[in-house]
Amino acid sequence: MYGVYLEQLGICKGAYLNMELAPIFKKAYGLLAFVGFLYILGVFSLTYPSVQRMVLYVNQFNPTYFQDVNDAEYFGFLKSQIQPFNIRTPDNETLYAWHIVPPRLFKDNEAAFLANASSGPAEDVTKTIAFNLLAQDPNARVVLNLHGNAAHLGSGYRPQMYAASCSIYPKTPCARYSI
């Protein structure tokens, strides 16, 4: 038993105070010590560059892993409104991208888009209907959107942002490429 004589503390003579902790407090101190240890371990692990990169860019965690980015309807677009394609970089990396057709252009050529619906990335984006229609229009604009470093181009608010930016100028076609 741990105890302190109150007489030694100078409070009163002959009194004894029992200072034993209840079992719940012993468990709480153990839990607090464990959480403190985990915190210190986490802070020290951030001194390693590989851990820093993983925490900063969050590229190991994808909250939308089971979503099919080739399925435009899942993200609120019309069937065949998005033409996915791949871009090969000089250092042999493959970037996945969407060519988003403006709603007005899609409506005017809906039959052609639905007749040539694709289920995956195009082999050559320059041979797609969307690219050819926009390439023929001298007033067409190109918007290139790089979505950032986490998740993918269909995550969160991004599809709504893509759709809204293509609708700003309804009379001017806007070729939107999201990478």
Q: Tens of pLDDT along 126-135?
A: 888 888 888 8
Amino acid sitting at position 127: K
Phi and psi torsions of 18, nearest 5°: -85, 120
Q: Which residue has the higher pLDDT, 64 or 126?
A: 126
Nearest Cα neighbor of 105 from 175, 173, 161, 168 is: 173
Give the residue extent of every domain in the chain. 3-34, 72-178
- The residue with greater pLDDT, 64 or 120, is 120
- Matching residue, tokens 């320059």: 126
Tokens found for residue 16: 């004894």
Residue predicted with more confidence, 80 or 167: 80
Q: What is residue 43's DSSP assignment?
A: H
pTM assigned to the model: 0.64
| H or E element that contains 176 | strand 174-178
- For residues 128 and 118, give the distance between their C-alpha atoms in angstroms, rounded to a whole number: 10
Instruction: Give the pLDDT of residue 131.
Output: 87
- 81: nearest Cα among 108, 113, 119, 111: 113
What are the tens digits of pLDDT across the range 81-110?
A: 888 888 889 999 888 888 888 888 888 888
19: helix, coil or strand? coil
Average of pLDDT values for 167-171? 67
Confidence of residue 175 (pLDDT cuts 50, 70, 90): low
Rounded to a whole number, what is the distance in angstroms from the first to the last CA of the chain?
68
Percent of the chain's residues with pLDDT above 70: 75
- At 1 the pLDDT is 43
Pairing label, strands 174-178, 141-145: parallel
Radius of gyration of the CA atoms of the chain, in A: 30
Cα–Cα distance between 128 and 162 in angstroms, integer?
20
Cα gap 125→121, rounded to integer Å: 9
- 30-48 b/e (C-beta count within 10 Å ≥ 16 → b): eeeeeeeeeeeeeeeeeee
